[in-house]
Amino acid sequence: MAYLSIIFRNFAHTENQFLYDMKKILVSLCLTLATMTVSAKTYSVSSPNGLITVNVCTDNQLQWDIRKDNTVILQPSAIGLKTDIMDFGQNVKVKKTRSSNVRKSSGNYGLLQMVCNGLIVEFRVFNDAAAYRIVPTKPLAKVVNETAEFRFAADYEAFIPYVNDNRAGERWCYSFESYYDRQRLSQMFADSLAITPTAICLPEKRKAVVMEADVENYPGMYLKKGKGNSLQAAFPPLPLEEEIGGYNRLNLVPTQRAEHIAENVSRLPWRIVVISDSDRELLGNDIARRLGPVCRLTDTSWIKPGKVAWDWWNNTNLTGVDFRAGINTETYKYFIDFARKNKLEYIIIDEGWSDPEDLLHFSDKMDMAGIIDYARQQGVGVILWSSWRNLIQRGHEKMEEIMKHYGDMGVKGFKVDFFDRDDQRVIQSVYEVAACAARHHLLLDLHGMRPFGVQIAYPNIVNFEGVKGLENSKWEPRVGDGPLHDQPMYDVTIPYLRALPGPFDYTPGAMVNAVRSQFFGNNDHPMSQGTRVHQMAMYTLFDAPLQMLADSPSKYMQNQECTDFIAAVPTVFDETVALAGEMGEYAVVARRKGNTWYVAAMTNWTARHLTIDCSFLGDHRATADIFADGINADREATDYQHQRIEVDGKSRLPIYMAPGGGWTAIIR
């Protein structure tokens, strides 16, 4: 009995100890959970209409996700920044937050600012996009790398513009001209970079477009395949040494790069996901302007957009003249006369007007001073071509001298070519070139460069290239029964994607047009893929404040009624209405300038019957001057119909577009 008594006493003691220990464990667990709740704090901010919500989680790794109507647009995706003194993104300690609903003339948005680890992370949520940027509280001496991840819920199809055709084999030297590969995220080439904007095809025909805006003193963002169904940002390292190279020795090619991407950084660019319920919503989207910098020019009255007669694409081929056409005085005076007669604001004199290495010395092929003076007398502006290397290589003082010299002569601008990079050095240089040009009232058209926000700070930058434009038809290879690349499909993709960050210099206007089976590349006598009206529709559909007429004056004069129509289309508009469209298939847009509407439609190689709803006219009754594909345009691409009809806001216009075709109208 004594033995049993001892056993029961020990059991009672053990039971009490067990209960005591369990109580301690439960209390400790509750405290741990409470601590986890605090450390895993989630902050939320919504769009003005309440449909889009961004959640920001600070647990372990700083992440953001995006939801629309309770549907996941972006899964939790990492945000981070590695500098020479810190690795921001893990174990984030939030000191202060601020949130509000902001109403501005440039657009309304929900705002969340988080102060943490000596940085401010700002999120903005619009009704059509979500974005964030990192702003240091004091300049960062060295940025080693940035983490910007975009994770998606499934293996979605994407429109991916891969980097190819590197200059001198340097991985980060590229002209930003890419066709779009339609692949699932899992099929992305792991060893390749892509440029932005890149579109992800979500369920129910939604799109998520990844892009950036307001890049300054920082490299541009590329995208590469990440883990799972994700995209990961990549950035060109800072160049340490350069040499002359690339095509025709026109580039400055880095030969050595640092192990970091930027120095002395005051703010990072916006990382953006644009969200559309239908592709049509992307046409005319102005998110880059809403997230762009403030204009830095106090006087912009001298900046005159317009159309340009261009010499290079048509190889200065003229007919019916009594002089030898080419790079000479007579040819450019002829271009000036053509521009004056057709009310074009400018001509461009492309490569060959100056000494190859010194822009202050004219070529002996022509009387450049006389040409510039003749253009001034005719009321036509002259824009001169230059490589970026020749403009900047001898330093700021030389660039200032060049700009002042030609500004004083009456030259109206420069087409600056062969940037072919957007590392930190080049981005800085673009701002310097823009500021210098503005001081001397010179316009800029930048080739081998994509828009990144500088054009908002300096609106004297009136266009960029960064597009697979008409020039590519000159060397397009033929494979089997047609061209290698599907240009009409590309033409009805870029209004949805390439146009988002800013305008593009496609250089349209071919008067020699070909159906797919008849097309071939020809450098000296080029043609376009698709119909005549497909080319004419580009003048309304494509965003280009400085817009080219790429073909020969002789060809335009042989097709004068088409030329008259093109010349009548403005290059900037007061209002844009997206009427219909599907990325890679077709696009229909109406734009207003004053009381006149300009309407255009384009299709890929699929013929289409559509109906244009004219309700954008309101109660306005007007005459529509219409160019449409002709009945035989499917076998003779130059065939078109020209008619005038009366329309009003109740009109429903049935239209037909041939394969690779178009439709366009001016409604006055």
Nearest to residue 194, comparing CAs of 228, 159, 160, 218?
160
Question: In degrees to the nearest 10, what's the CA dihedral of 498, 503, 504, 507?
Answer: 140
Cα 433 to Cα 399: distance, rounded to the nearest angstrom: 8
Which residues fall within 8 angstroms of residue 240, CB to CB, at 6 or more apart? 254, 256, 257, 258
Q: Is 417 a catalytic residue?
A: yes
Annotated catalytic residue: which of 417, 423, 505, 551? 417
Nearest to residue 288, comparing CAs of 163, 120, 128, 491?
128
Using DSSP, state whether 186 is helix, strand or coil.
helix
Residue 567 exposed, middle or buried by CB count within 10 Å (0-12, 13-18, 19+): middle
Annotated catalytic residue: which of 214, 242, 471, 551? 471
Q: Treating both helix axes as pointing N-terminal to C-terminal, what angle do 329-341 and 368-377 enclose, rounded to 10 degrees?
A: 20
DSSP string of 145-157, one letter each residue: EEEEEEE-SS--E
Pairing of strands 306-310, 546-549: parallel
Residues 663, 654 contacting (CB under 8 angstroms):
no
Beta strands in 117-227 (DSSP E): 119-125, 129-136, 140-151, 157-160, 181-184, 198-201, 207-213, 222-225
Tokens of 607: 């013929």
Residue 48 exposed, middle or buried by CB count within 10 Å (0-12, 13-18, 19+): middle
Which residues fall within 8 angstroms of residue 185, CB to CB, at 6 or more apart? 152, 155, 156, 158, 200, 225, 229, 230, 231
Cα 550 to Cα 330: distance, rounded to the nearest angstrom: 19
Question: In degrees to the nearest 10, what's the CA dihedral of 197, 203, 206, 209?
Answer: -10
Using DSSP, state whether 47 is helix, strand or coil.
coil
Residues 182, 159 contacting (CB under 8 angstroms):
yes
Q: Residue 375 gets which letter from DSSP?
A: H
φ and ψ of 533, to 5 deg: -75, -25
Tokens of 194: 């892509």
φ and ψ of 35, to 5 deg: -65, -40
Q: Is 146 a catalytic residue?
A: no
Nearest to residue 615, comparing CAs of 661, 575, 574, 647?
647
Cα 79 to Cα 63: distance, rounded to the nearest angstrom: 6
Nearest to residue 198, comparing CAs of 490, 500, 454?
500
User: CA 565, 566, 568, 572 torsion: positive or negative?
Assistant: positive
Residues 99, 114, 223, CA angle at the centre, nearest 5°?
Answer: 110
Residues 99, 113 contacting (CB under 8 angstroms):
yes
Longest dimension (CA), the chain: 134
Tokens of 168: 């001198």
Using DSSP, state whether 327 is helix, strand or coil.
coil
Cα 632 to Cα 656: distance, rounded to the nearest angstrom: 12
Provide the 10 A C-beta neighbour count for residue 183: 14
Catalytic residue annotation: 417, 471
